[in-house]
Amino acid sequence: MQAVDIANILVLEVRPLPIKAAIFDLDGVIVDTAKYHYMAWRRLAEELGFVFTEKDNERLKGVSRMRSLEILLEVGGLSGRFTAEEMAAMAARKNEWYVQYISRMDESEILDGAVECLAGFRDLGVKTVLGSASKNAMLILNNLRLVPYFDVIIDGTRVTKAKPDPEVFLLGAKEAGVKPEESVVFEDAQAGIDAAKSAGMKAVAIGRPDELHGYDMIFRGLYEVKPREILEQD
Ligand code: BG6
Ligand code: MG
């Protein structure tokens, strides 16, 4: 009898905690904004006199604005050529263009299955959290009427450390009142998957298996995600 009890205790101890928060990246997971980031960075590269390809742009996904600029300059062979003030001015110019592009976005640019997925987690009593590096996240969420789908919103204005640092996800879980181990992150960028894992969270990749690694599960888009199955994966 005692042996059975001990066995039960052991089983309870090794069982992972249930998922209580679903944390979503924004760009590339909820909305199709990667193309606008790319258009704006490519325009800056053109001004600087080099070609910035879509393949180069993959390196910018999930990465902060200033780090993106550093990578862009590296691609153009221009690292270390500009002062901090010049870099800040270039990042600001890119952002002006980007904001012009995203201001024209409408609800058709919400990615397939995103709204259903957010609502589905809510229906199961799971907190929905935004964990985005973007300082433009509120503009996008407001324009596309997505704010009501989130219990907690953490964006690039709330954090100091960019992904792959886990700060954005840890703060999201904290504000949701949920432990990191009770959280699942949906991410399209390698930096975000790495951030989720170093936060001690479950990482669901959105993208292609040949482009991403280190995740727990992978789907092509949120349209393939069934919230109940994610919870049952524990
Ligand atoms: C991330 C994007 O969500 O936000 C990156 O994947 C982007 O490409 C970063 O650089 C910062 O965005 P923003 O809108 O603050 O320039
Ligand atoms: Mg992203």
pLDDT of res. 8: 55
Which secondary structure element, helix H or strand E, spans residue 187, and what is its range?
A: strand 183-187
Q: Of all atoms in ligand 1, which is nearest to the CA of residue 132?
A: 3
Share of the chain above pLDDT 70, in %: 92
The maximal CA–CA distance of the chain, rounded, in angstroms, is 77
So what's the pLDDT on residue 131? Answer: 98
| pLDDT 10s digits, 152-169 | 999 999 999 989 999 999
**Residues comprising the chain, all counted:** 234
Q: What value does the mean pLDDT take over residues 37-55?
A: 97
Atom number of ligand 1 nearest to Cα 67: 10
The helix-helix angle for 65-75 and 84-103 (nearest 10°) equals 110
Tens digit of each residue's pLDDT (9 = 90 or more) over 107-120: 999 999 999 999 99
Q: What token pair was written down for 165?
A: 């640092």
Question: Residue 154 forms beta bridges with which residues?
Answer: 131
Overall average pLDDT of the 67-86 stretch: 97
Judge whether residue 2 has pLDDT over 60: no
Mean model confidence pLDDT for the chain: 93
Banded pLDDT at 16 (limits 50, 70, 90)? low
Could you tell me the sign of the dihedral formed by the alpha carbons of 221, 143, 27, 33, in that order? positive
CB atoms within 10 A of CB 8: 10
pLDDT at 66: 93
Based on the residue annotation, tell me whether 106 is a catalytic residue of this protein.
no
What's the pLDDT score for residue 233? 82
25 is an active site residue: yes
Statement: residue 3 has pLDDT above 50: no
Tell me if 109 sits within 8 A of 35, measured CB to CB. Answer: no
Lowest-pLDDT range of 1-15, 94-108, 110-124, 195-209: 1-15
Asked if residue 163 has its Cβ within 6 Å of ligand 1, the reply is no
More confident: 59 or 84: 84
Q: Residue 13 C-alpha to ligand 1 middle, in angstroms?
A: 39
Measured CA to CA in angstroms, residue 96 lies from 39, 41, 72, 143 at distances of 12, 11, 17, 17
Residues with CB under 5 A from ligand 2 (ion): 25, 27-28, 62, 188-189
CA distance 185 to 169: 8
Ligand with smallest separation from the Cα of 168: 1
Name the residue of 36, 37, 57 whose CB sits within 8 Å of the most ligand 1 atoms, as the mutation to test its pocket: 37
